[in-house]
Every structure is written in C-alpha cells, then in structure tokens.
Structure 1
C-alpha cells in the first residue's frame, strides 16, 4: 500500500571489523539518521531541509546522497513523474567513521520504497545504496550500506557480481564505540592504504577473516577476539588517530575481546561480551581522551539485527 508520508530511521555501522577491509560490517542500535519523505504535487525530488550537519552537506538534490539515490530509484522503477519532498535529520556525526553517508542513503531509499508500497526488496535496494556511497566518498563499497540496510553482520563476498552474506551475531556480543572529535577524512584515509602487500601478510589477513567468520558462526568469543587483528590497514590508519594504542590498551585491559578502528576512523570500537563491560570501556576511553583535551561521543550497542525501520513522525 502506498503512503503520503514516511519517517525512517537507519543505523550507524562499523565497517571492516578490523581484519575485513571493505568486506565486513555490522549495524549499531545507535546513533543513526532519520529521513522524512512526503508526496507533493510538484513533480521531481526536492530536498527541502537538512538538520544536524552544520551546513557541511550539499543542498542540491543531484549532489546529496539521499536525494540522488531517491532519483535513481524512481528512474529504475519508472516513477519519475511523481513529486516528493525530503527532509534529512542527521543524528550522527559526519566524518566519524560510523557510516554517516550510508545511514542517510539507506534511510532515504528505505523511505521511498516504503512510500511507494515496497516494490523492491531490501537486497534489491543495495546497488542504489552503493551508488550513493560512491557519490559521498568517491568509492562505491557495501561494507557500511549492507549492514545499515539488512541489519546484523554482513560479509561482501563479491562486488562483481554483488554477493552479500548475512552472518550470525552471537547473542552476547556487544560493541563499545567512541568517536573522538578529530578530523580524519575518508578519502585521505583511503589514499594512505598500500596498493601492494606481501603474500605473508595476505595469508595472515585472510586467516584472521576466516577465523572471525568461524567465531561468529560458532559463538566462539575467544576465537573472535584472536581473529581481530589487521596487519594491512590498521598500522597505517592508526597514525591518523590520536591516542589509538592507548585506547586499545584501556579496552583490552578492561576485558575487550578485540579492538580496532571503525571504518576509516577516527571512531574506534571494541567487541565485548556484556553491555556492562561495553559501558565501562566506553567511559574509560572517553575519560582518557578528555584528559588529553579531546572531546568525544560514546555509544554502547548490541548488534542491530533490524536495520532501517519506520518510526512515528
């Protein structure tokens, strides 16, 4: 059934999960972004309001990931003759490494699909979300948009053709997430990555990815922790994040299974086995950062299995 107005929340995500660069990610309960779509008599897609971005996001409909993705969706299903107004409410930091652009894009796509009676499945929306990431970051990858759209933990097995696998989330797996208020642009962080690696390093990396996936399937928390090591990307990106190794020591000393960078940073996260431990680690890291003169946001979350959802306006 088609609707006149839809209000949608889409979650933040942690991409890579340390060793799974560009292929692994999971959805958080919070933070996230919200999008409101309304039908209008004026044909076309109109981006009428953005809040919470500090003026950083483009206001032109063709350049903003939300409205541009909605345009592509409408063209695909042959509904370019309708009119919609879009409001984007950013409730998570831009440039945080928590999939900010992915959350916005997914919220917009889920909203327009819901508004028009859900002609496509969530998985059918993935290619449009990836195109939105390309517009935002210059690189169309699915490690953020897949968990934001499908919920849970996802593995991008292949991009050509696109093949995304839902992985199980052990019941007692929680995340402690901290976003330090420092600037690490995604494009800059990606440009620092080596384009060639040694076979020895590659073997270590794919062994850890396989171990992490196996640990998720068997709910082997010790194996999950042992596998959360990155020899390819983290050593370079950690340079851009102040106090990274100090934060990791605090987390591991407090009982974390593993610790690493969320996406391209500067956010960091730890996997733990209880919400209480996650809260304790988040508080300890934020206190340490404050002592160094660095403000931060902290989040404690389970694995969000739902993904985007319609909410009351």
Structure 2
C-alpha cells in the first residue's frame, strides 16, 4: 500500500462471553479507539500522542501498542524501522471491554497495511498478544483475536496457537454498561481459584459447546441457555456493584443473557434485535441511576470486520 500514514478504527471487545473464559471473544461496533501509524525517517518506534488517557506511558516498551509493534518489527527483520503512533482512546483502560487489546491490535493492523500486508491475521494476533502480556501478565488472545479478525472468535489452543472465527447471527446485538470504577485484569485474575470441581468443569464445557452450536444455527433460545458461567463469574461478581440485580432485570426485559465483560467492571447482555438491546440499555440505566456511580452504556451490533482503515 503506497502510503506513509494509515489511520484505523480499533474496536472494543467482550472477552470470555460468559462460559468461554480466555477462549471466546467478540468484537463491538462501539466503542473503539482511533490510531494512526506513520513512517518516519528516524529509527525506532515513537508514540507522539495519547488522547483520552494521558496517564498511559508514551515509552514504547511500557505501552501495549509499542510492545506489539516491537514484536511485529522483530519478526519482519527490521527492528529499527522508524514508526510513529498516535492514539485516541475512546475505550477507558481498566474497563473490561478490551482497551489494551484495541491499542495492540490497532497498532499491528495499521503497520501491516502500511507495509503492504506482510503478515497473516494469525501472526498479527501473536504480536498483539505481546501487548496483552504487558497489560495483564498473560498473553491471552480472547480480546485481540476478535479485535483483529472480527465477529466471534474461539481460541482452540495456545500451544500451538489455533484460532477459529465463528459464525455471527445477523440479528444479535450487545448492550454493555461500563461502571466508572477500575478493575485491573491482573487483580481480577489473582482472585480466581486455581482448581475447579469436575462437575463445574463439565457444566462449563457443555455451555461452551452449546454457545458455538447456537451461533451456527441462529438458535437464540439455546444461546440464552448457554450464557452461563459457573466457574469465573461467581468469584468476580463481588467486584461489580448490583451485578446480579442488573443481570436479572435485563433478562426480565427481554435480554437473552450475558455476564461480566472480560475481567470487569463492564457487564454485557446479548439481545435478539435492536429494540430488545435498547430496552436492555434502559433497564441498565434504571438500575445504576440511583447508585451514585458514573457509568456509560453502549448499544452495539457485533462488529464482523475487526480493525478497519478509516
């Protein structure tokens, strides 16, 4: 691509999708970051501006976009290539809707477009995972894979990395509420149990299989039943104000179901059709308005494209 500058939209993502801890994720149409990567004459990566999150480091080795680009250039065999990055953060760090993944994914997709697409999507996911390693201590892919590939993705294996892009039902919508409190991914991981009971694991496996089947058959009833997490959600729910009340009232209003988005504090609910998704948003508003906690609500289709040039 004959250009010295590429600007992209990098979508927010919902990871885990209830039962699929660390293996299933989906991309959102909103919110999303805007990023620009441009060639420069001086060697090395620079991050010249970060709008919307000025507290994030501009030092490439301490910023997820910089770390992902370092992995990209190392594999390219040109570690000293000059690239400059600007970031407009519309996804608040610590929100649970893939802030670090958006920066990591947006940077490597933009660089790939800038340099004529030398790498496959799976390679780009690998590079973006290094940003996730910096952010959370674990190089997980359930945010960066849907951010790059679009739609729903399944990580079948990490060793070796094996990614599957799943089917997305046409009329599926997502409503996300982001309470303005911070839950760090690393902290949310520390409270998880290291062992689970076999009966819980069996129930969770059944739900993961049912979720994938529901996506391919457009079976919204099955999808609703599959959106159950018996392993991670019971532990992390304590971090999120009014979590169970929110979930119950959204389902009463017509939502299919949902759960904690990533490590929280955001909560996602899925609905069939925009009307139900907006009813769900209204219920979220009713639950949170009296609580004295600032929050944002997003109503979004599933983003089937992933990071895209703008």
Partner SS, residue 128 of structure 2 = helix
Match of 1:171 in 2: 170
Match of 1:93 in 2: 92
After the TM superposition, which of the residue ranges 116-125 and 168-177 deviates more from structure 2? 116-125
* 1:75-154 matched pairs, under 5 angstroms: 75-154=74-153
1:186, distance to aligned residue in structure 2 (A): 1.1
Preserved contact between residue 92 and residue 99 of structure 2 (Cα < 8 Å): yes
Match of 2:290 in 1: 291
After the TM superposition, which of the residue ranges 182-191 and 102-111 deviates more from structure 2? 182-191
Preserved contact between residue 91 and residue 98 of structure 2 (Cα < 8 Å): no
1:91, distance to aligned residue in structure 2 (A): 1.0
Distance in 2 (CA, whole Å) between partners of 1:182 and 1:286 is: 16
Partner SS, residue 59 of structure 1 = coil
Distance in 1 (CA, whole Å) between partners of 2:61 and 2:191 is: 29
Preserved contact between residue 192 and residue 232 of structure 2 (Cα < 8 Å): yes
* 1:12-91 matched pairs, under 5 angstroms: 12-53=12-53, 55-91=54-90
Distance in 1 (CA, whole Å) between partners of 2:129 and 2:267 is: 23
* 1:115-264 matched pairs, under 5 angstroms: 115-264=114-263
1:57, distance to aligned residue in structure 2 (A): 1.3
Task: Give TM-score, length-normalised by structure 2.
Answer: 0.98
Q: Size of the alignment, in residue pairs?
A: 310
Partner SS, residue 61 of structure 2 = coil
Partner SS, residue 62 of structure 1 = helix
Calculate the aligned-residue CA RMSD, in Å.
1.0
Match of 1:280 in 2: 279
Distance in 2 (CA, whole Å) between partners of 1:114 and 1:283 is: 40
Distance in 1 (CA, whole Å) between partners of 2:68 and 2:199 is: 40
1:120, distance to aligned residue in structure 2 (A): 1.0
Q: Deviations over 1:66-94 (max 9, x none)?
A: 01211221121122343121111101111
In structure 2, list runs of 5 or more residues that go unmatched. Answer: none
After the TM superposition, which of the residue ranges 118-127 and 14-23 deviates more from structure 2? 118-127
Preserved contact between residue 67 and residue 130 of structure 2 (Cα < 8 Å): no
Task: Give TM-score, length-normalised by structure 1.
Answer: 0.97
Match of 1:265 in 2: 264
Match of 1:309 in 2: 308
Preserved contact between residue 113 and residue 119 of structure 1 (Cα < 8 Å): yes
Partner SS, residue 196 of structure 2 = coil
Partner SS, residue 146 of structure 1 = helix
1:194, distance to aligned residue in structure 2 (A): 0.5
1:2, distance to aligned residue in structure 2 (A): 3.7
Preserved contact between residue 46 and residue 58 of structure 2 (Cα < 8 Å): no
1:278, distance to aligned residue in structure 2 (A): 0.7
